[in-house]
Amino acid sequence: MDLISLYPTWYEPGVGSGWVVGIIATFHVLASHTSVGAALLFAYLSHRAYKEDRDDLLDFVKKYGLFLMVFTYVAGSITGPGIWYSTTVASPNGIGALIHSFVWKWATEWVFFVIEVVGVYMIVYLVGKVDKKTHMKISVIFGAASLATMIIIVGILSFMMMPGKEAWFEDGGYLNGFYGTNTFIQTGMRMAFMFTMTAIVGGIVVASIKDPAFKKEMTRKLGWLGIISTLVGAALFQWYLTSVPSQALLVMENRLPDYFGPSILIVLAGTLSYFIITMLQPKLLVAGFAGFMTVTFLVAGLWPEETARESMRKPWVAGQYVYSNQVIGRDVPGMDIKSQLPIIEKVGILKAHPFTPDHLKEVNAGNQIQAGEFIAMTYCSNCHSPSETGIRPLHRYFPQDITQERMESYVRGVLTTGNIAYMPKMPMIESEVQSISAYLVLNKQGGQPAVTAAIQSEIADRERALVKTVADDNVALLPSLQENK
Amino acid sequence: MDAAQIAEVTQMMYALRNPAGVPTYPIIFVGLGVLTFALHILFVQLMLGTSAITIFGSFSNNPYWRRLAAAMLEIAKVSVSVAIVVGVAPLLFVQVVYDPHWYTSNVLSAKWVIGFIVILILAYWAMYFYYFQNSKNKDKTLTPKSRWSMILSLALMLVVGFIMHSLTSQMLHPELWKTWYMQNNSLDYSGSTLHAYNLWRFAFFISMAVPVAGAMLVTYRRFKMVRADADQAYLSWAANLGKTWIKVGSVISALLYVAWMMTLPQTAGDFATSFWGIAGGVAVISYAVWAQIRLKGEAKFCSYMALPMALVIGLVVAISREMLRYGILNDFFNYNFMDYK
């Protein structure tokens, strides 16, 4: 059997499927990291509240908890599976690789997640209704369960960049894939940033405190939490960079825009300034300002960070063995996984793909553009939009006057051989090289309207040919029918 | 379909399996999937039923209905949360064993899959909006504000339910996947269409919200009645309403179940008259019988059993639903999930 595990392609022309995943994931990071950080903060504040017999701290926990329930838990608990949904449609084999390796880890995380969600309801609704010792126990269990969800998921996120240990490729074993230097450093880095987010989002709740003295106290508490965690997080990010593959650093240096580095520094400086200003002048901390800072951190801080993490993995999407275009690009003996490249090299991508329509399995003059589009969608569209808009549009990579011959040379010499460091190797048989080249030239020179027109023309020709074949067959059958009469 | 076509579809499903395989016996994941689905759908039905009570009560002039509406809103809020959290588990397990089917179904309707997330967030926030508009009002018999937001919430919940129903239905039609990928002779990469549904099946699962909400009303009364200041007349009214809902709702659901069984695709063979096909319907109707026998009169002690019984009924239906999937994929298409290793 020459078929490989490739699914249909979802093509989103507006922003690209990758960005859809990115938008949902970034929002989820904000919600989930804030929730975990707040859970630990709640445990600390509850401890202080009971030790010092202070109702105002408990009231703050209740208010912040209710705020989290409505915003971050609602959005966070939906965008969590939402990442699954979006990756399922944008990168089914990528998410499949993670799930098939770490299903029990995810199941374990789910158990802690259930405890976490039950915990937030108990924290909020049982304040003042159960004795202090019990409420404190709930706070600690809630905080520990929240942290456990993060630690488990970071192992899986780390695997997306690279398996924990190189031995995983040869020996398998999910712990080899799960734990590694990168996992632990990333856990520390995320914990630091989660406290930063807790401090920033917490500002929205602090803004509503009426008592100036208490407001000042909470502003300072959150301010110090934010300053320390931001500095620690920034330092850990530098350490994190030493734990990623050299290939990832190379991609980061070459592929990320020039403004990436300075913009991260500006966000860090802005965040620190925000904490310092509000600590000095708590009255400046109003809900609008804190909300604005939350959105700023989301858009200018988290978004570039998530984009960088996604870019650095290229050409892989999971475990350094699943390409971003869903093809398995290397052997993993420890998991009995074989590279799919030899099969594609032998039969071509059209015959290897289970969803290739029958009339496109062989390229001919009557289906060249349709087949080319199918190949481009399969191989390229996850990272390069074939439209004018979207993620890294294909047409930008070629000169206007490019010819079929030059395009074929490029496809043959670069794409099928995998000669670009951050691009997958994309094997094609000769007829497929010609087909995708014809499509790319047309896409470059005429854009999507020209491609659509060419495909419609090919379809019309095919239908005409089918009608003629049926008619010819009927004519051929006529004599025998007359004889039977 | 002739044998060659079936063989081609089977070959495609096997090709789509993840080369990493599954880390233990597939039956374990199927079992966990069924169990967690039963829990998930119970809270979905609870959320729909209590939301419906909230809406109905908010438009009623009867003070009992108004009070009940306010109380059930609290249940609805928590039920949405629990339904989402518990729903993650069957989602995980279905992706281990039925990934070829789930992933294909989702990609072919990708826009709806993404829409699911957005619509669900809006639905949940609409419910919270209604709650915050009315939560500070101590007198629960007053006319609530912003009733439109609660109606919107329930409507959006039904939309996400239908999306999920459609995605699940599409999994059962591997013979149509390639056809769906082609629209008007051209490949459709947009994922903008929901391709399959069975309104009877959808209506059945939604209708189970009636007996489940009834069970909640019975439980509500049992929980509240022990307080010294409890309004026993109001609680008895709520419990009697609940008992009626369990009985009438179960009968309606059982009829819809029969309609679903009568409209199964040909690929399901004689599932409707098989043991599990019949067991699902019998389980649903038996809930009415159980309520008639065990919830008669005061029924103080077995009132708490109303919800666990609903879970048991849901579990039988979940097993039946899984056997239907197994029947179509294994018996008709010769796709054996047990050899996924």
pLDDT per residue over A294-323, tens digit each? 888 777 777 777 777 778 888 999 999 999
pLDDT at position A485 is 60
Pick the more confident residue, A92 or A264: A92
B106: closest CA of chain A, how far (Å): 6
pLDDT band at A70 (very low <50, low <70, confident <90, very high): confident
Per-residue confidence (pLDDT) for residue A30, from 0 to 100: 86
Distance CA B45, CA B206 (A): 7
pLDDT at A348: 97
CB contact under 8 A, B23 and A85: no
pLDDT of residue A481: 67
Closest to B121 (Cβ–Cβ): which among A17, A78, A85? A78
The whole-angstrom separation of Cα A285 and Cα A200 is 11
Assess: ipTM above 0.90: yes
- Bridge partners (DSSP) of residue A332 are A337
Of A6, A11, A121, the CB nearest to B78: A121
DSSP label at residue A397 = G
CA distance B136 to chain A (A): 15
pLDDT of residue A484: 66
Best residue of B106, B135, B167 to probe chain A, by most A CBs closer than 10 Å: B106
Hey, how many other C-beta atoms are within 10 angstroms of the C-beta on A26?
20
**Cα gap B296→B290, rounded to integer Å:** 10
CB contact under 8 A, B23 and A374: no
C-alpha span between B321 and B36 (Å, rounded): 13
Q: Supply the pLDDT for residue A325.
A: 95
Read off the pLDDT of residues A204-258 as tens digits, 9 standing for 90 and up.
999 999 999 999 999 999 999 999 999 999 999 899 989 988 888 888 777 777 7
**Yes or no, beta carbons of A106 and B12 under 8 Å apart:** no
The pLDDT of residue A186 is 93
Mean pLDDT of chain A, nearest integer: 90
Percent share of chain B, pLDDT over 90? 92
Q: Which residues in chain A have their CB less than 8 angstroms from residue B121's CB?
A: 74-75, 78-79
Picking from A355, A358, A467 by the largest number of B CB atoms within 10 A of its own CB, the best residue to mutate is A355
What's the rounded Cα separation, in Å, for the pair A358 and A285? 64
Transcribe A217-237 into DSSP letters.
HHHHHHHHHHHHHHHHHHHHH
CA distances from A289 to A93, A204, A208, A286 (A): 42, 8, 12, 5
Note the pTM of the prediction, 2 decimals: 0.93
CB contact under 8 A, A88 and B120: no
- What pLDDT is recorded for position B162? 98
Which of B25, B81, B188 to substitute to test the interface with A, most A CBs within 10 Å? B81
Task: Look at A117 and A6; give whichever has higher pLDDT.
Answer: A6
A103: tokens are 């299903």
Is residue A38 within 8 Å of residue A64, measured between CB atoms? yes
| Among A residues 218-237, those touching chain B with beta carbons less than 8 Å apart | none
Q: Does the beta-carbon distance from B81 to A79 stay under 8 Å?
A: no
Predicted pLDDT of residue A81: 87
Kindly report the average pLDDT of chain B as a whole number: 95
Which value, to the nearest 10 degrees, does the dihedral of the CA atoms of residues A329, A330, A333, A334 take?
A: -70
| A398 near B CB under 8 A | no
Contact of A58 with A95, CB cutoff 8 Å = no
Q: Search chain B and give the residue with CA nearest A114.
A: B85
Number of CB atoms found within 10 A of residue A349's CB = 26
Residue in A119, A176, A111, A165 with CA at minimum distance from that of residue A142: A119
- pLDDT band of B119, cuts 50, 70, 90: very high
* DSSP, residue by residue, B57-110: HHH---HHHHHHHHHHHHHHHHHHHHHHHHHHHHHHHHHHHSHHHHHHHHHHTH
Beta-strand runs (E) in B177-223: 182-183, 186-187
What is the rounded CA–CA span in Å between residue A387 and residue A14?
8
Of A3, A70, A88, the CB nearest to B103: A88
**pLDDT, tens digit (0-9, with 9 covering 90-100), for A361-407:** 999 999 999 999 999 999 999 999 988 888 889 999 999 999 999 99
